Amino acid sequence: MTNSSSERASEFELIAKVFAPLSAPGAYGLTDDAATIRVLDGAELVVTADLLSADVHFRAEDEPRLIAKKALRVNISDLGAKGAKPVGYLLSLALPRNWTMPWIESFAAGLREDQSELSVSLMGGDTTSTDGPLIVAITAFGTVPSGTMIRRNGAKPGDLVFVSGTIGDAGAGLTALKGELPNISARDREVLVGRYLLPQPRTGLGQALRGKVSAALDVSDGLLADLGHIAETSNVRILVSADRVPLSDAARKAGLRVPKAATAGDDYEIAFTAQASRRADILRAAADCGCPVTEIGRVEPGAGVALLDSSGREIPVSRKGYRHF
Amino acid sequence: MTNSSSERASEFELIAKVFAPLSAPGAYGLTDDAATIRVLDGAELVVTADLLSADVHFRAEDEPRLIAKKALRVNISDLGAKGAKPVGYLLSLALPRNWTMPWIESFAAGLREDQSELSVSLMGGDTTSTDGPLIVAITAFGTVPSGTMIRRNGAKPGDLVFVSGTIGDAGAGLTALKGELPNISARDREVLVGRYLLPQPRTGLGQALRGKVSAALDVSDGLLADLGHIAETSNVRILVSADRVPLSDAARKAGLRVPKAATAGDDYEIAFTAQASRRADILRAAADCGCPVTEIGRVEPGAGVALLDSSGREIPVSRKGYRHF
């Protein structure tokens, strides 16, 4: 970002010009202090918040359009994994003091594009300045029929374990961005980097899985770490067959191996467990929404998560996922 | 904050030990990716978000207990001014890398105390680290009977203008904290500084005003600036009689005058407009909830806001309130 006073606007002008056009009916054109959300009888609201910070969750030099999309998508991904239908979001921004209108306009353009794609609208938020790096804090809202949010705590011994899409692409994309994958093709690089910069929330799949699965979450910290969260809250042990973990062609060609893929973050796929009797039902639902789903393991009594080789031996994994501190 | 690795915990331990005990039933002990909120038939949810940054909204060296309370209270204040009954909140924290457990425990103690006082519970959020200053981003939820949220846009010519409590104390408190009010008594200093550090959200008054007033908001940017927001969204002109603006004894003794009080921020009182026929009704509701309310002006056709002296002449005010940039 460069600084030019002629390119600046006040907080109020910024809201009116850039953000108000993105707003939902209950947000009153962002001219009020709060928004209202009506929830249909028999439904309940699902709420989730994720805060992204420059140089932790994205690179400060990333295109603002992509920063906006990533921040929105990681929140919508949480709703998706919980089986919720996305409705809207609140956006709180702490802008470094050298922000410019072109930067903000690109950021807003990213939101506008994703609002159409994800069927959500801006409901409000806050805009302020900071002496530190850019912070994007989003709260996202969705709805489910009351009592049907897919929890983390329902996995039972005997359940099967599934994951959508492919694992490890985003991690490989970040490695490529750092210049550490010099020998991959331009096309593969684009695929992997795209997976890092632009997660695809599995909202259609999540809604289709409601009522069919015993536990779910989105893979953000890394497949094994996130399955570990299900194991912990469900009081079970989760076994993952390394040779079943789905890798993309691009990731394979980049030399990615399963232990690394299963501990990389930012996949934003849905990992879930379900009774074995639900297998056909789940694969049909996945096919109907055009979402690849792979069976990768099983649940047993115990605790923790283990990655197994083809002979059933545990593959040692030093670090199961990303931790912020 | 000082740094000691023995005083640190992982993100997951931090959530389990410090924040989970603060959580509401629909937050599932903070063990899931999202929380659920049920809204009674005939009600709707009111949502608002405010992000506070160290060195902008509070001083980094302020007691963490008070930082937490201020961040929560400024959000609950928005709900109060909209007539909503507070329900819960999401908390997203970007912690500087040198955070310590005692700091976080004090922060959580502040939240715990205020949760009892304000009748809200923690519903979720996010905890991450940042290379910049501490950021506290809160989204607060309340409920109103459907369609009754008090808006900014309903003021009409002929309406009266009111404000709760006293104006300018927080601004004077900040001045005192900066050492620029050396001659005030210890007691007055304590009163004024307390008003800066610990706003008192007027949630009881806000709910009592629902259905009786035409427009309302909480005074955060400064009385004149905030009444200017009502004037703008209602397409009216607001006239404030300087000699009616309520100042506290402590503020008067500190030498505060109305033009400065009416442009200082952080009051977190409710400013509102209502039909003249509602005056007795409003003063009774205010008395019932023990909230002082003062009639300070009137609404007429036109635009903008003006501060008038006792002979009806406009008092020039250079800057009507706080702007972040």
The ipTM value here is: 0.91
Burial of B48 (0-12, 13-18, 19+ CB in 10 A): buried
pLDDT of residue A24: 87
Write down the architecture of domain B160-308 according to CATH: Alpha-Beta Complex (3.90)
Proportion of chain B above pLDDT 70, given as a percent: 95
pLDDT digits (tens, 9 = 90+) for B234-287: 999 999 999 999 999 999 999 999 999 999 989 999 999 999 999 999 999 999
Average of per-residue pLDDT across A2-28:
74
Q: Say yes or no to pLDDT of A321 above 70.
A: no
pLDDT digits (tens, 9 = 90+) for A35-47: 999 999 999 999 9
Report the C-alpha gap between B109 and A277 in whole angstroms. 47
**8 Å CB contact of B53 and A129:** yes
**8 Å CB contact of A128 and B51:** yes
Q: Say yes or no to pLDDT of B149 above 80.
A: yes
**8 Å CB contact of A28 and B94:** no
For B34, the closest chain A residue by CA position comes to: A48
Average of per-residue pLDDT across B212-216:
98
Q: If you count them, how many residues does chain A have?
A: 325
Proportion of chain B above pLDDT 90, given as a percent: 85
Helix axes B186-197, B169-177, angle to 10 degrees: 110
pLDDT of residue A25: 84
Average of per-residue pLDDT across B19-41:
92
Q: Say yes or no to pLDDT of B6 above 80.
A: no
Average of per-residue pLDDT across A233-251:
98
Look-up of token digits 């232990």: A259
CB count in 10 Å sphere of residue B315? 13
Q: Which of A32, A51, A82 sits opposite B94 (nearest CB)?
A: A51
pLDDT of residue B75: 97
**8 Å CB contact of A36 and B133:** no
**8 Å CB contact of B137 and A132:** no
Q: Which of B49, B57, B229 sits opposite A90 (nearest CB)?
A: B49
Q: Say yes or no to pLDDT of B1 above 50.
A: no
- Residues facing residue B215 across a β-bridge: B273
For B127, the closest chain A residue by CA position comes to: A51
Q: Which chain A residues are closer than 8 Å to B52 by Cβ?
A: 128
CA distance A253 to chain B (A): 33
Domain ranges of chain A: 5-145, 160-308
The backbone torsions φ and ψ at residue A45, rounded to the nearest 5 degrees and listed phi first, read -90, 140
**And the tokens for A82?**
């919980």
Nearest residue to A160 (alpha-carbon basis) of A212, A223, A103, A120: A212
Q: Say yes or no to pLDDT of A116 above 70.
A: yes
Q: Which chain A residues are closer than 8 Å to B28 by Cβ?
A: 151, 153
**The CATH number of the domain covering residues in B10-145:** 3.30.1330.10
pLDDT grade, residue B50 (50/70/90)? Answer: very high
Look-up of token digits 């900066």: B178
CB contact at 8 A, A22 and A112: yes
pLDDT of residue B320: 63
pLDDT of residue B55: 85
Q: Say yes or no to pLDDT of B92 above 70.
A: yes
- Cα angle vertex B297, ends B294, B303, to 5°? 140
Q: Say yes or no to pLDDT of A3 above 70.
A: no
pLDDT of residue B12: 75
Q: If you count them, how many residues does chain B have?
A: 325
DSSP letter for each residue of A120-166: -EEEEEEEEEESSS-EEEEEEEEEEETT-PPPSTT--TT-EEEEES-
B72-98 burial: b if 16+ Cβ within 10 Å, else e: bbbbbbbbbbbbbbbbbbbbbbbbbee
**And the tokens for B269?**
């009182």
Q: Which chain A residues are closer than 8 Å to B91 by Cβ?
A: 49
CB count in 10 Å sphere of residue B25? 11
Instruction: Please give the torsion angle defined by the CA atoms of residues A12, A17, A21 and A26, in that order, rounded to the nearest 10 degrees.
Output: 10
Q: Which chain B residues are closer than 8 Å to A153 by Cβ?
A: 28, 31-32
Q: Say yes or no to pLDDT of B120 above 70.
A: yes
pTM score:
0.92
Alpha helices in chain B (DSSP H): 11-14, 64-81, 101-118, 169-177, 186-197, 203-209, 223-234, 249-253, 258-261, 279-288
Q: Which of A33, A36, A124 sits opposite B81 (nearest CB)?
A: A33
Sign of CA dihedral B110, B113, B117, B122: positive
**8 Å CB contact of B53 and A124:** no
**And the tokens for B207?**
């709910």
Average of per-residue pLDDT across B34-61:
93
Proportion of chain A above pLDDT 90, given as a percent: 85
- Cα angle vertex A46, ends A41, A50, to 5°? 160
pLDDT of residue A12: 75
pLDDT grade, residue B56 (50/70/90)? Answer: confident
pLDDT digits (tens, 9 = 90+) for A278-299: 999 999 999 999 999 999 999 9
Which amino acid, A8?
R
Average of per-residue pLDDT across B181-190:
94
pLDDT grade, residue B323 (50/70/90)? Answer: low
Average of per-residue pLDDT across A89-113:
95
Q: Which fold has domain A5-145?
A: 60s Ribosomal Protein L30; Chain: A; (3.30.1330)
Q: Which of A48, A126, A132 sits opposite B124 (nearest CB)?
A: A48
Average of per-residue pLDDT across A118-125:
95
pLDDT of residue A56: 86
Return the residue in A47, A101, A128, A143 with the most chain B beta carbons within 10 A, the one to mutate for interface testing.
A47
Contacts 24+ apart (CB under 8 A), B15-19: B15/B127, B18/B104, B18/B105, B18/B108, B19/B91, B19/B108, B19/B122, B19/B125, B19/B127
Report the C-alpha gap between B313 and A306 in whole angstroms. 78
- Residues facing residue A145 across a β-bridge: A43
Q: Say yes or no to pLDDT of A193 above 90.
A: yes
Q: Say yes or no to pLDDT of A7 above 80.
A: no
Q: Say yes or no to pLDDT of A322 above 60.
A: no
Average of per-residue pLDDT across B207-236:
97
**8 Å CB contact of B90 and A35:** no
Q: Which chain A residues are closer than 8 Å to B152 by Cβ?
A: 31-33
Look-up of token digits 């919508």: A76
Q: Which chain B residues are closer than 8 Å to A130 by Cβ?
A: 53, 56, 132-133, 135
CB count in 10 Å sphere of residue A288? 11
Q: Are strands A237-241 and A293-300 parallel, antiparallel or unpaired?
A: antiparallel
> What contacts B118, CB < 8 A, 6 or more positions away?
B72, B73, B76, B86, B201, B203
Report which secondary-structure segment, H or E, holds A286. Answer: helix A279-288
Look-up of token digits 């973050």: A265
Q: Say yes or no to pLDDT of A6 above 90.
A: no
Report the C-alpha gap between B278 and B31 in whole angstroms. 48
Average of per-residue pLDDT across A13-40:
90
Q: Which chain B residues are closer than 8 Å to A77 by Cβ?
A: none
Q: Say yes or no to pLDDT of B300 above 90.
A: yes
For A77, the closest chain B residue by CA position comes to: B33
pLDDT grade, residue B9 (50/70/90)? Answer: low
The DSSP output letter for A17 is I
The backbone torsions φ and ψ at residue A114, rounded to the nearest 5 degrees and listed phi first, read -75, -30
